[in-house]
Structure 1
Amino acid sequence: MAPRPLRILGSTALSLLIAGSASGPSLALSEPGDGVVTPEACAALGYAAPAPDGYDSVVVTATKRTSREQRLTSRARPVIATPGLTPPPPPPPPSPPPPPAAYSFAAPSPVVAPNFAPPIRDTEKYPGAAANPVKRVAEEPVSTFSIDVDTAAYANVRRFLNEGAAPPHDALRVEELINYFDYGYARPTAQEPPFKPTVTVVPSPWSQDRQLMHIGVQGYATPRAGQPPLNLVFLIDTSGSMSGPDRLPLAKKALNVLIDQLRPQDRVSMVAYAGSAGAVLSPTDGKSKLKMRCALTALRSGGSTAGGQGLELAYALARQNLDPKAVNRVILMTDGDFNVGIADPTRLKDFVADQRKSGVYLSVYGFGRGNYNDTMMQALAQNGNGTAAYVDGLQEARKLLRDDFDSALFPIADDVKIQVEFNPAKVSEYRLIGYETRLLNREDFNNDQVDAGEIGSGAAVTAIYEITPVGAKPSSDPLRYGAKPSPATGGSELAFLKIRYKPPGGSTSKLIERPIGAGDMHASLAAAPEATRFAVAVAAYGQKLRGDPWVDASFDWDAVTALAQGARGEDPYGLRAEFVQLTRAAKDVKGS
């Protein structure tokens, strides 16, 4: 029997697709290359193109017909005379048109366009985390945290500002705003060690007598020829909450950008989930991009959200095709609005934490607004050896999956931790800007059983501390009955930086160390490198948006804009120019 084309119509057909994916036409046909997605080309591969999503449908009340009715009428077949039969009489002449004011309306009632999804209530969820407090070095001299190369907060905050709204305070993870940008740090020249730290200390522009310690950790960029093959599973949310042009249609465009980057040795599988989950594409090599695109084209949104079941199936598929010499990764596209099966972030966190032991990484890409569940995204990414990003448009998709393709998919280190010990003879207080959800205990730094973030090829991590030098007025009064500080040690060092990491898939960590001293200090912010000045501008932007109490009111939005504008430097993709405009938009919504 000839194989039948598969059509996906929301969640109802997913169960049929599970059975068809293993023995259907996608396995029986010869492997085609890339090409133009047409109904005929996709039908030959077993995928029937769905009907249009209908976002342009219009409904008019009263005696007017809907545009859909007009399209159906215009497509009616003409009457054709049949030999031997008397043709029908001609139709009567049309009635004169009614006067323009003669529209007849029904009783007042809401008019619903059948092809539109109902409006979604604002149920967005964000992990609550209070801004880091000021710590006294005499009492707590060591700061430890996991690295964070996620950028979800930056794009999400941009979405709010572009809509003329102030973002919720919990949506502001300042480190993700800072780490959105490439600061051009000096790169490692060899694969081991894979990191090169850079440190700059400058006066704080928003707090008198305090300083900012800017730490940049640049990762090694693996040459393309040395990159391992990819074994990817696209896990795509096709539930009803993903309807709308900024959700499933945008997710499909984003995945097509990723497909463009694939090499012949790479392999892709696809799983879709709504009320249930099913495989829509068996493992397919990078030469068969047309088949991947056709599988994406067939996806429609509808039904509830069995995200937990989708994750289980995606991980099972990744393990089934696990290649120890490849990068094995699940790529999740969702709004995070799980509502069927395992939907609790804590339970899902435990699930993905168990799965990371299998060597499968997780990348989470968020979409949509109104019901976006950032809490779920963070729980999955931080516990699944993964990263999280938010896609607010096609340009962001291109940045994430084309421009940052290597850093997004090819890890160079796992469980990367940073620890800074401050010298009490030089520093009396410190405050880590951001990383509130990434803090670790001091003893976690040397414990290889404690999970931390991964870093991809060529990626960098930036962290900024605000410090109070000894002799400057501290934030809090000294204790009346406290013990006297211990004798000064460490000479001219301000602090000591340590970085701990594991090779990808490794179980034993390695250590990089570096003192921070007088040679890292600059007399003024204006004399500091461009990278430091721009990073400080982004840190100020995030803190002011979040309403942090440590940024003096005299350092206003105009000062933030001027600092960013003066440190734009080379800006090949226009990202820094866009940021300058966002600082102006922030002033409009915040007012001061």
Structure 2
Amino acid sequence: MPGMTLHPTPSEPRNAGWLRLAGAGLAAGTVGLIVLLAPWQHSEPEATSQTTAQNTAQTTTPQADTQAAATDALPPPSPQPLPQAIPRPVVLHGKPAVPAADLAYEAQGRDRFPQADDNPVHRVTDTPVSTFSADVDTASYGVMRAALMDGVLPVPDAIRPEELINYFSYGYPAPAKDAAPFATRLSIAPTPWNKDTRLLRIGLKTALPERGAMPPARLVFLIDTSGSMDAPDKLPLLKNAFRLLLTTLKPKDTVAIVAYAGSAGTVLEPTPATEGARILEALERLHAGGSTAGGEGLRQAYALAEAGRTDGSVSRVILATDGDFNVGFTDVADLTAFVERQRASGVTLSVLGFGQGNYNDALMQALAQNGNGNAAYIDSLTEARKVLVEEVGATLFTVASDVKLQVEFNPAEVKDYRLIGYETRALRQEDFSNDKVDAGDIGAGHTVTALYEFTPAGVTGGLSEPLRYQGTPPAAPATSPGELAFLRIRYKTPGESDSKLIEQPVTQAMAVESFEAADADFRFATAVAAFGDILKGGRFTGDYRLEDVAALARSAKGEDSAGHRAAFIGLVELARTARPLAPLPQ
């Protein structure tokens, strides 16, 4: 498992929650007002047959009850005004952005991220095969955006390039009916930041069935109500996010709620989605306070999800937390082993991260990757809508399990290569054919993109320096003229144990002569990849600048009906003035 980095605390902390969520209200109208009022507009708990379980989930000690009651008795706090010296904020992604020079940024000292070095450059003569797991997580993009909205650059370990690229949907062709669950698109174009290299794009897209054709969903909301969630961008935002999800559910779907603080308890037994008022009432009873028994919460949520499974349905635990587990069952290795064992039950996992300052991204990734799950970071109501409304099929319904990709490069055509991102998803070559090795799942309507940068054979420059004593690469087989590489994909139909194999050659016919001739999706994904590399220090993009990224993204924005690509361009502009944690090209 990759290491973990604990980053030092900056010296100028601030409470950015109100600022971020106030901006969300500008984009979400009256819903944003609900987010702002949520911290002090709690409904009083009502007596029910589950009173004991609810009290267990909400508090840990009589002292915690007294503190919660005292908090409820306080008058509503006033949002902090912007300092007079700061110009009028610019609204971006539903949140205001303020020039970094005038902004004291929020402390990130306790945020934890998995540590993984950039993928190395491989010589094809030494390492012709590259193997990795599919990744549909987008949490890294949300963390990056939250940092830039606070006027600071994200720490390099927070950047996972594939999650930035896969945050966006691309117009790849959908699979034919009764075919494999996803279609594949391969393309090659010159690299905009290196005249000696080329980019290979691998694109996958799954079909999105009609809403009525989706199986019944048995959902268990596992909600962190510990004291660390007592912030405007945590529990109040979490509640509003789940309100949005409820609007997408079908009559045959059910919802249960497990909450945890110092201990865990069932707040709501499985309830039909048609009883929305009852579900919302249970959500409103939740208050933040106490320590964090996240491990026990996981146990109870999985038990409830497994007990509610029926033939033809899907059971999923949706964990919403900042990841600050600190009581009882807390060791990352133990938690990872637990969700690994639960894979056999057929219950899947979605992880939604909230807040800054003590966000444990390393734990979130470990749970999502080992629990047949996906991970997103919710920093605004706009993002909650994207994950839980616009992409609800991809978030909740798996159509291909244990998806592995393997690319074998032809040494007669390719000198060296590097895979952009997927560092935490790397697999050994022998893992590809081993159906016991777990890999990522792809949901309904998902697109997955992977980019390789490679140097054609015979090019003096490129990604690596020439070797003095290297021999002539072997000739390409006569049966495969013009083949640059060969792509293999393995996947399982959900519920099955044996994988299926898809194979496709990568040929010169898939290449375009100029980067400008590549399709808009290719060019936009390239802009995002370049942005990720620059945020990590610019090791591979060299003199390619943020202004180049912004110009490229603008030229490839395309239709962008949801506005996500336009918002990305705004983030690139913010990065040019953000407070750096390390020097970046400007």
From the superposition, tell whether residues 10 and 439 of structure 1 become closer, same or farther in structure 2 (CA, over 3 Å): farther
Give 1:343-358 correspondences, 5 Å limit.
Answer: 343-358=330-345
User: Hey, what does 1:218 align to over in structure 2?
Assistant: 205
Q: Does 1:532 align with 2:574?
A: no
User: Hey, what does 1:14 align to over in structure 2?
Assistant: 56
Shift of 1:480: 4.8
Shift of 1:344: 1.6
From the superposition, tell whether residues 125 and 10 of structure 1 become closer, same or farther in structure 2 (CA, over 3 Å): farther
- Structure 2: how far apart are the matches of 1:566 and 1:483? 42
Of stretches 305-314 and 213-222 in structure 1, the one that deviates more from structure 2 is 213-222
Structure 2 counterpart of 1:509, from 493, 496, 499: 499
- Structure 1: how far apart are the matches of 2:187 and 2:555? 18
1:57 aligned partner, one-letter code: P
Tell me if the contact between 2:121 and 2:464 (Cα under 8 Å) persists in the aligned partners: no
Q: Does 1:56 align with 2:76?
A: yes
- Structure 1: how far apart are the matches of 2:430 and 2:290? 46
- Structure 2: how far apart are the matches of 1:569 and 1:55? 48
Tell me if the contact between 2:165 and 2:525 (Cα under 8 Å) persists in the aligned partners: yes
User: Hey, what does 1:105 align to over in structure 2?
Assistant: none
Shift of 1:6: 5.0
- Structure 1: how far apart are the matches of 2:202 and 2:46? 58
Q: Does 1:365 align with 2:352?
A: yes
- Structure 1: how far apart are the matches of 2:557 and 2:426? 31
User: Hey, what does 2:179 align to over in structure 1?
Assistant: 192
From the superposition, tell whether residues 327 and 191 of structure 1 become closer, same or farther in structure 2 (CA, over 3 Å): farther
1:402 aligned partner, one-letter code: V
- Structure 1: how far apart are the matches of 2:488 and 2:70? 54
Shift of 1:191: 3.9
Tell me if the contact between 1:11 and 1:275 (Cα under 8 Å) persists in the aligned partners: no
Of stretches 338-347 and 385-394 in structure 1, the one that deviates more from structure 2 is 338-347
- Structure 1: how far apart are the matches of 2:310 and 2:58? 28
2:326 aligned partner, one-letter code: N
Tell me if the contact between 2:417 and 2:463 (Cα under 8 Å) persists in the aligned partners: no
Unaligned runs of 5+ in 1: 19-48, 60-118
2:552 aligned partner, one-letter code: L
Structure 2 counterpart of 1:577, from 537, 550, 566: 566
- Structure 2: how far apart are the matches of 1:313 and 1:54? 33
2:325 aligned partner, one-letter code: F
SS in 1 for 2:162: helix
SS in 1 for 2:572: helix
Give 1:231-380 correspondences, 5 Å limit.
Answer: 231-380=218-367
2:483 aligned partner, one-letter code: E
- Structure 2: how far apart are the matches of 1:577 and 1:5? 48
Q: Does 1:560 align with 2:549?
A: yes
Shift of 1:478: 4.8
From the superposition, tell whether residues 121 and 495 of structure 1 become closer, same or farther in structure 2 (CA, over 3 Å): closer
User: Hey, what does 1:115 align to over in structure 2?
Assistant: none
- Structure 1: how far apart are the matches of 2:140 and 2:203? 20
- Structure 2: how far apart are the matches of 1:513 and 1:271? 43
- Structure 2: how far apart are the matches of 1:9 and 1:437? 43
Shift of 1:144: 0.5
Shift of 1:487: 3.2
**RMSD of Structure 2 on Structure 1 (CA):** 2.4
How many residue pairs get aligned? The number is: 500
Tell me if the contact between 2:329 and 2:335 (Cα under 8 Å) persists in the aligned partners: yes
- Structure 1: how far apart are the matches of 2:326 and 2:362? 14
2:145 aligned partner, one-letter code: R
Unaligned runs of 5+ in 2: 1-44, 61-68, 80-105, 579-583
Q: Does 1:588 align with 2:572?
A: no
Structure 1 counterpart of 2:474, from 486, 501, 508: 486
Shift of 1:219: 1.0
From the superposition, tell whether residues 214 and 335 of structure 1 become closer, same or farther in structure 2 (CA, over 3 Å): same
SS in 2 for 1:420: strand
- Structure 2: how far apart are the matches of 1:215 and 1:545? 23
Tell me if the contact between 2:224 and 2:321 (Cα under 8 Å) persists in the aligned partners: yes
1:337 aligned partner, one-letter code: D
Residues 354-413 of structure 1 show CA distances to partners (whole Å, capped at 9, x for unaligned) of 011110000000001000000010000000000000000000000100000111111101
User: Hey, what does 1:495 align to over in structure 2?
Assistant: 485
- Structure 2: how far apart are the matches of 1:520 and 1:248? 48
Residues 58-117 of structure 1 show CA distances to partners (whole Å, capped at 9, x for unaligned) of 69xxxxxxxxxxxxxxxxxxxxxxxxxxxxxxxxxxxxxxxxxxxxxxxxxxxxxxxxxx
Structure with bigger gyration radius:
1
2:133 aligned partner, one-letter code: S
User: Hey, what does 1:522 align to over in structure 2?
Assistant: 512
2:257 aligned partner, one-letter code: M
Q: Does 1:145 align with 2:132?
A: yes
- Structure 2: how far apart are the matches of 1:16 and 1:535? 44
1:334 aligned partner, one-letter code: T
- Structure 1: how far apart are the matches of 2:51 and 2:222? 17
SS in 2 for 1:210: strand
Give 1:389-400 correspondences, 5 Å limit.
Answer: 389-400=376-387
SS in 1 for 2:552: helix
Residues 492-524 of structure 1 show CA distances to partners (whole Å, capped at 9, x for unaligned) of 011111111000111011111111112210011
Tell me if the contact between 1:10 and 1:299 (Cα under 8 Å) persists in the aligned partners: no
From the superposition, tell whether residues 297 and 10 of structure 1 become closer, same or farther in structure 2 (CA, over 3 Å): farther
Tell me if the contact between 1:417 and 1:501 (Cα under 8 Å) persists in the aligned partners: yes
User: Hey, what does 1:29 align to over in structure 2?
Assistant: none
- Structure 2: how far apart are the matches of 1:378 and 1:156? 13
1:532 aligned partner, one-letter code: F
Shift of 1:557: 1.2
2:277 aligned partner, one-letter code: L
- Structure 2: how far apart are the matches of 1:539 and 1:183? 14
Residues 541-582 of structure 1 show CA distances to partners (whole Å, capped at 9, x for unaligned) of 1110111411121x2111111000001110111111111111
- Structure 1: how far apart are the matches of 2:463 and 2:172? 32
SS in 2 for 1:127: strand
User: Hey, what does 2:536 align to over in structure 1?
Assistant: 546
User: Hey, what does 1:439 align to over in structure 2?
Assistant: 426
Tell me if the contact between 2:50 and 2:267 (Cα under 8 Å) persists in the aligned partners: no
- Structure 1: how far apart are the matches of 2:73 and 2:390? 30
From the superposition, tell whether residues 321 and 518 of structure 1 become closer, same or farther in structure 2 (CA, over 3 Å): same
Tell me if the contact between 2:57 and 2:266 (Cα under 8 Å) persists in the aligned partners: no
Q: Percent identity, please.
A: 50
- Structure 2: how far apart are the matches of 1:273 and 1:125? 21
Shift of 1:262: 1.0
User: Hey, what does 1:86 align to over in structure 2?
Assistant: none
- Structure 2: how far apart are the matches of 1:172 and 1:120? 18
Residues 181-234 of structure 1 show CA distances to partners (whole Å, capped at 9, x for unaligned) of 111111112143111111111110111210011111111222223211001100
- Structure 1: how far apart are the matches of 2:156 and 2:176? 40
Shift of 1:347: 1.2
User: Hey, what does 1:106 align to over in structure 2?
Assistant: none
- Structure 2: how far apart are the matches of 1:218 and 1:16? 42
- Which TM-score applies when normalising by structure 1? 0.81
- Structure 2: how far apart are the matches of 1:426 and 1:54? 71
